[in-house]
Structure 1
Amino acid sequence: MKYYLLFFLIGFPLLTGCNDSKKDQEGTFIGGQIMNPYNPFFVLSKDNKTIDTLFLDQNNQFGKKLEGLEPGIYSFKHPPENQIMYLEPGDSVLVWLNTMQFDESLNFSGPGAAKSSFLLDMFLNNERNNDMMLSYYKINPTEFAGITDSIKESRKNKLKVLNEKEQFSKSFLELANNSIDYDFYHLRERYTFLVKKYYNELAQQIPDDFNSYRKDLNFNDTQLKEYYGYLNFIEDHLRTRSIERCLDELDTNSKCFELHSVSNIRYRINLADSLIEKDEIKNIFINRLAIQGLTFSDNAEKIDRILGILEDIEFNGANFPDLKQIAEIQKNLLPGNNIGKLPLINLKDELINLEDISNKPIVTYHWSLEAPEHYKWQHIIINNLRQKYPELEFVGINIDEGSKQSWKNTVRTYAMNKEREYKLNSPDININLLKNYLNKLIFLDTDGTIINGSAQLNTPNFERQILEFLNK
């Protein structure tokens, strides 16, 4: 029997006590056990606001009854990892996970846990579908439509069978059905984007009804605003619409097709502003798009134009001051600026300036403990690049504030190059804003002058940029 089931059978009565009264039944119990914990707490939140922090005991177990929780999707975090769960009054949900395989090991049990298990299953299937897209997006549109129809039908049938057993609430059933729909829409949008941008022959074969669901879209579903699939769909829908606009109104050589161009960012921000009425959803996408536009600007004029777009729509989101700070950070990272004096800490706790690390030209890459899948994938690629381009020095910079021992442990655990891993030592920089630069690399000449500040590891032209850097 799994440890989490044993914990449930033994620990749950002790933690929750008697459930006889109506008041007890209206509360919501959350408990669980975390194997190989990163830290001693489990944080429950909703709408980016912390509901409660539950601390682990000596057995890495936690549990607490919470009053007044509204039905809906909640986020929980065991930093740096996070996931979602669905809670309603009367639920008694236990969470079991092993941080060595966070999502794959995650298991919910107890009364009401089937709702969270269903959403987790959806998440894992969506991850597999993302991989599927890499091989399926080049197939005929009619064939792809059949695949996505089958996925949707299978999920609807699974929900129906599960509901016969669990008797879900009306609110969860509505959310679950909508989540299936928007995951389906997301697959269709991604396919539409890819073929219209890269495969014109396939784009000409897309049936008229391929995107017929668009007439029924709801961009203001606050019940789904914490569901990954819904947010991913909206992001891809805006992106696809921008490409379709390019095809309809402009020539194929237009910069409109460049997703980080000012014209494309402007179109998507204006589209989000017009389609989405709820500020709590609208601001998510305006903020994301502004960050994309700012962090990929290669001159000060573009940066100012992106800020101008926000002023044109009278954007007053809470993150606007942060966007202005990102604009200043980006101006400091433009080609020609020198960051050689950037202070870093090595694994021996010694302070060293970036320019003093090597006599070779430097390529910096950046990572955070809060994005484990990113740094695992990133370091595999970097190790290969080190072998391929020995004339360059690839320097890793961890941007997290504090967490020095966790940083060292991670470097050792994942066998990173100890001689080329450093930690940022700049207390005057807003670390949270630097997380927007995790996908970017910076090319520096031997004195620390920036040659290219907009390279991105996962783009088709990345190695071409390396060769241009070497041959400058």
Structure 2
Amino acid sequence: MKYIHHLLFLLVILLSACNRSQDSGNKVYIGGQIVNPNTHYVILAKNEKNLDTLFLNQKNQFGAEYESLQEGIYTLRHNPENQVIYVEPGDSVLVWSNTLQFDKSMNFSGRGSEKSSFLLDLFLKNEKNNDLILSYYKFNPEKFSRITDSIKAQRMDMLQDLDDQQKFSENFIDIARTVIDYEYYDLRERYTFLIGKYNTQFADEIPEDFHDYRDDIDFNNEALQDYTVYTNLIDDYLRSKSIEDCNTGENRDKECFELGNYHNIRRRIILIDSLTTLPYLKHEFLDQLVTRGIIMSKNQDRVDSILEVLEEINYRNMEEAEDLALIHRNFFEGTSIKENQLINTSKQLVTYGNIINKPSVIFIWSLYAPSHYKWQHNNIKNLRKKYPDINFIGVNIDQDETEKWLRVISSNNYNKDYEYQISNREVSKEVFRKYIYKTFFVNSNSIIIDADAKLYNSNFEKELLEFLNQ
């Protein structure tokens, strides 16, 4: 049985929580345990507001009782992970999770926990759709519609069966049904993108009413703005619409499907600004798009154009955007980084000119994105074996945290000969961390040849060979 080793813990703490809540009326208890914690606390949040910090004890357990939490979706944050929880007055919900598989291991129990379990199950099913859609887009629109209609019906039946047992509140039923609808809509948005890019013969077969559901999308749904299934739909809708607005001619333009393209990002910035009035939701998307737009710009004119759009929409984090632009101006293609200083694992100052003596790939990483840097290093380890004529250099951006950086390198057995840390920065580390998805191709003279390489791109090795053969 799944995670049977923690059932005793849950039973003990559940009994304790229930005893506290028997006469508590509308009070809410939230508690649990985090295995292999990343930090010593869990944050309870709603939208952009942190409501409470729950510290872990020596057994990595946490818990608190609340007098007046309104019914709805909340977020439990355990950096860098987070997941939603649904509570209403009188609930006593326990959470158990192992950070090695945070979402998949998460387990809810206690009074009212069925609501959170249902939303988690929908979230995990939505994640699996990422793989399923790669098969679905190979079907024509008629077959695709039949399959996704069936998926939606299954979700609704599951909700009805649970409601018959649990007698959910009307508010939760409304939210759950909306989430199921939005997952269904999102499948259509993803399908539209994939066949438009890879299977164009089916794109011409899409019926006129295929996107009628778009009129039913509420871009100001305050109750759902913390929930990934909802934000995934908005993200994919922005992608589809930006491509449609670009791809209006008779000939489909492949550049319209380049999501890192300046024009595409600019359209999405303008679109999300016009679609929602919810400050948190709007700026979550704007922050992501602004970061992508700036760090993918190939020259100063592109950066300036992004900044101009942000001024037009009164972007609230303008100072951070300008700081990010300040970083990026040092990393355009054709720029020499020969004199830029780093710290090596012996804590000595060196320059790129000291360490680069052949074609090199520089990848940026941060201590505060553990799943990402582990993925990066795993890929780089394999690439080093395949391409011995290339240096693969890891640059950590967490200046002033040298000891922690060295511990991570040692504990993960990363090759110290190729690990460095920045020695100075012009902006805050929070801004610099937005740069962790960058990868550069640099020639033997320390000149940036490609400032927009993407390690996660399926064509990365093809680009690597082209770089090597220049």
What TM-score comes out, normalization by structure 2 length? 0.91
CA shift, 1:306, in A, is 1.2
Separation in 2, partners of 1:419, 1:243: 44
Q: Establish whether residue 468 from structure 1 lines up as the match of residue 470 from structure 2.
A: no
Tell me the alpha carbon deviations over residues 191-246 of structure 1, each in whole angstroms, 9 at most, x when there is no partner: 10111123211211223332221121211111111111111111111111122223
Separation in 1, partners of 2:88, 2:209: 38
Equivalent residue, structure 2, for 1:184: 184
What's the RMSD between the two structures over aligned residues? 2.5
Equivalent residue, structure 1, for 2:42: 42
Pairing 1:107-256 to 2, within 5 Å after superposition:
107-249=107-249, 251-253=251-253, 255-256=255-256
Separation in 1, partners of 2:191, 2:350: 47
CA contact 2:33–2:60 (8 Å) conserved in 1: yes
CA contact 1:5–1:109 (8 Å) conserved in 2: no
Q: 2:333 aligns with which of 300, 312, 335?
A: 335
Separation in 1, partners of 2:416, 2:82: 28
Separation in 2, partners of 1:406, 1:79: 16
Deviates more, 1:323-332 or 1:216-225: 323-332
CA shift, 1:84, in A, is 1.7
Q: Give aligned pairs, total.
A: 468
CA shift, 1:187, in A, is 1.2
Separation in 2, partners of 1:14, 1:83: 24
CA contact 2:17–2:92 (8 Å) conserved in 1: no
Separation in 2, partners of 1:7, 1:302: 55
Equivalent residue, structure 1, for 2:444: 446
CA shift, 1:190, in A, is 0.7
Separation in 2, partners of 1:456, 1:397: 16
Separation in 2, partners of 1:83, 1:350: 41
Tell me the alpha carbon deviations over residues 67-92 of structure 1, each in whole angstroms, 9 at most, x when there is no partner: 32222222212223222211222221
Tell me the alpha carbon deviations over residues 282-310 of structure 1, each in whole angstroms, 9 at most, x when there is no partner: 23323322222211110001111111122
CA shift, 1:463, in A, is 3.0
CA contact 2:272–2:285 (8 Å) conserved in 1: yes
CA contact 1:81–1:371 (8 Å) conserved in 2: no
Separation in 1, partners of 2:381, 2:137: 29
CA shift, 1:180, in A, is 1.2
Equivalent residue, structure 1, for 2:87: 87
1:254 and 1:60, CA in 2 relative to 1: closer, same or farther beyond 3 A?
Answer: closer
Tell me the alpha carbon deviations over residues 343-386 of structure 1, each in whole angstroms, 9 at most, x when there is no partner: 44444545443433342232111223443443333333222221
CA contact 2:71–2:89 (8 Å) conserved in 1: yes
1:209 and 1:423, CA in 2 relative to 1: closer, same or farther beyond 3 A?
Answer: same
Separation in 2, partners of 1:427, 1:332: 12
CA contact 1:96–1:108 (8 Å) conserved in 2: yes
Q: 1:458 aligns with which of 456, 459, 462?
A: 456
CA shift, 1:107, in A, is 0.7
Tell me the alpha carbon deviations over residues 45-70 of structure 1, each in whole angstroms, 9 at most, x when there is no partner: 12222211111112221111123222
Amino acid at match of 2:448: I
CA shift, 1:464, in A, is 3.7
Deviates more, 1:357-366 or 1:326-335: 357-366
Deviates more, 1:374-383 or 1:317-326: 374-383
1:253 and 1:186, CA in 2 relative to 1: closer, same or farther beyond 3 A?
Answer: closer
1:471 and 1:48, CA in 2 relative to 1: closer, same or farther beyond 3 A?
Answer: same
1:364 and 1:41, CA in 2 relative to 1: closer, same or farther beyond 3 A?
Answer: same
Q: 2:12 aligns with which of 2, 10, 13?
A: 10
Amino acid at match of 1:291: T
Runs of 4+ with >6 A deviation:
none
1:282 and 1:82, CA in 2 relative to 1: closer, same or farther beyond 3 A?
Answer: closer
